[in-house]
Structure 1
Amino acid sequence: MARSTILIAENSCIIRKGLRSILQNLENSEVIQLIDDKEDVCKIVTKSKPDILIINPNMLPGDCLDVKKELFATNKLSLVLISDKKNIEKELKADAYINYSDGQNAILDKLQEILNKKNKSVHADKSSETISSREKNILKHIALGLTNKEIADQLFISIHTVVTHRKNITQKLGIKSVSGLTVYAILHNLISMDEVK
């Protein structure tokens, strides 16, 4: 699992450094930068493309709204507001809200929930990938027990192309063994039980 990156934009030095210290307890994540200047927020967010931006709403410059919409539209960036104002997350459509009075466990729970949602959506995206018709054809030959060379010869392609297709198939399906690929091929009517050697 890739490490999630976090930016903290807050004008208070104590809060920035305190959050960074708390977030060291968050698994598979790292704080990549602390931002203390409102004018740098958009430039740094655009350049570093973090997974999570924890920001005091006062640090969001008005001219940053177009960048914000673009980044949030890609579903890459989750916005976490840190403030003492109530209902501010609804105004800015934030993913979470941290109050200045929240304890360490509450902060970690909120951020862990965001990371869990991100990981589920990434996993769902990968599992929902379908294999192409060419990959189905390669998979059929793999399930029939043919070697890479035999598949290449039958389909008039190079062995390297077969290997590339195999890698793509195993990555998309999340199945690494030939027996697992064979079961997949049978269940998806690419081959029949009678054809298996």
Structure 2
Amino acid sequence: MPRSTILIAESSCLIRRGLRSILQNLENVEIMQLIDDKEDVCATVNNKKPDILIINPKMMPSDCINLKKEFMNAHKLSLILLSDQEKLRDQFKADGYIHYQDKQEQILDLIQEVLAKKHKNKIPDKNAETISSREKNILKHIALGLTNKEIADQLYISIHTVVTHRKNITQKLGIKSVSGLTVYAILHNLISMDDVKQ
């Protein structure tokens, strides 16, 4: 999966740093910058061109109110609002919404969902073909959170065979973490987001 970049625009130091700390748990994600001054938002977005802007709506500068149209379309930027007022989501046509009281799991799920939608068309088809149908089946089970033993039992193969397939999958795709493999499986329709949440 391509490396994704995120900007966080929030006046509260505690919230900015807390959110950065949570997002560092994601694979292939770089927090480019933390913005604490609303006057810097437009210039920083235009200069850095991140994949995602997480912003408190109060940080939207008055001369940049049409941020969605001006920047989102030009740079294919996804907008996630950080607020305690969910109604603002529709007003700004945001791609996602983080409430101040959301748990870490909810925040990470939301970011992965936005990234999955964003990168769906960017993953070259040749990657999907580099793994065999048997490996796809193993990958599906890995993404669903099964252990090597559980996969072996379900597919009636040895644990050694599962481990070998698993090594081949990570080598071919260049993805080592289970969360990265899960996102890959979702992007290639091997599993759905609903399967992961169960």
TM range (shorter): 0.5 to 0.7
CA–CA distance in structure 2, aligned partners of residues 93 and 75 of structure 1 = 16
1:10-36, Cα deviation, whole Å (9 max, x unpaired): 000000000000000111111010000
Q: Which amino acid aligns with 2:13?
A: C
The residue that corresponds to 2:86 in the other structure is: 86
Extract unaligned runs of 5+ from structure 1: 128-197
1:22 corresponds in structure 2 to 22
Work out which structure has the larger RCO, using CA pairs closer than 8 Å and 6 or more positions apart in sequence. Answer: 2
Which amino acid is the alignment partner of residue 105 of structure 1? E
Distance 2:108 2:8 in 1: 14
Instruction: Find the counterpart in structure 1 of residue 44 from structure 2.
Output: 44
In structure 2, what is the Cα distance between the partners aligned to 1:69 and 1:54? 16
| Equivalent residues of 1:46, 1:67 under 8 A apart | no
SS at match of 2:86: coil
Contact 2:10 / 2:36 at 8 angstroms: preserved in 1? yes
Of stretches 61-70 and 4-13 in structure 1, the one that deviates more from structure 2 is: 61-70
Give TM-score scaled by structure 1 length. 0.60
Count of residues in Structure 1 that have an aligned counterpart in Structure 2 = 127
Which string of whole-angstrom CA distances, capped at 9 and with x for unpartnered residues, describes residues 80-100 of structure 1? 000001211001000000000
Distance (whole Å) between structure 1 residues aligned to residue 119 and residue 60 of structure 2? 27
Give the conservation status (yes or no) of the 8 Å contact 2:52–2:77: yes
Q: CA deviation at 1:75?
A: 5.9
Counterpart of 2:119, as a letter, is N
Q: Which moved more, 1:73-82 or 1:19-28?
A: 73-82
Aligned partner of 1:76 in structure 2 is 76
Query: Does the residue aligned with 1:15 lie in a helix, a strand or coil?
Result: helix
Q: Which sections of structure 2, spanning at least 5 residues, go unmatched?
A: 128-198
Asked if 1:64 is matched to 2:31, the reply is no
TM superposition score normalised by structure 2: 0.60
Q: Percent identity?
A: 61
Q: Where in structure 2 are the equivalents of 1:1-197 lying within 5 Å?
A: 1-74=1-74, 76-123=76-123
Letter in 2 for 1:39: E
